[in-house]
């Protein structure tokens, strides 16, 4: 009866594992961004005094469209439409956000609204 030669396990090489970890580390370091994102300030509403002669606007933000008062419009035409509506005096805008709106879309809309100097903004949070 012939005995099998003893099976000997070969030691694992850590070199290839270290190479893979190094390549993954290098990939994630080069693919990530280290720049600061713009901050958008959300200020609370002012005092609830007597009603003024300000123009009232309503903007509803959904994932697909924007609706200013009753007119549907795209995000690229929001700035010009607001400039047309707020030509004389101050205006108050009530912003309604749908629950499905992404934070990037909301930030894009808030940047456009912040560029309007004569616009007071109030935000309705989704329920």
Quick check: 110 and 66 in contact, CB under 8 A? no
Q: How far apart are CA 66 and CA 76, in angstroms?
A: 10
The predicted-structure confidence for 82-104, as pLDDT tens digits, reads as follows 888 877 778 888 888 887 888 88
Quick one: average pLDDT of 1-10?
69
| 107-118: average pLDDT | 85
**How is the chain split into domains, by residue range?**
55-124
> What is the reported pLDDT for 50?
44
Q: Distance between CA 106 and CA 46 in Å, rounded?
A: 22
Three-state secondary-structure class, residue 66? strand
């Amino acid at each position: 009866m012939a005995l099998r030669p003893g099976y000997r396990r070969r030691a694992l090489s850590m070199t290839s594992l270290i190479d893979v970890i190094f390549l993954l580390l290098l990939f994630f370091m080069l693919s990530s961004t280290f720049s600061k994102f713009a901050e958008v300030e959300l200020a609370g509403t002012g005092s609830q005094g007597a009603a003024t002669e300000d123009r009232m606007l309503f903007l509803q933000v959904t994932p697909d469209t924007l609706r200013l008062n009753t007119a549907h419009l795209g995000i690229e035409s929001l700035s010009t439409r607001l400039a047309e509506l707020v030509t004389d005096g101050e205006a108050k805008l009530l912003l309604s956000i749908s629950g499905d709106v992404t934070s990037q879309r909301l930030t894009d809309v808030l940047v456009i609204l912040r560029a309007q100097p004569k616009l007071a903004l109030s935000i309705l949070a989704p329920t």
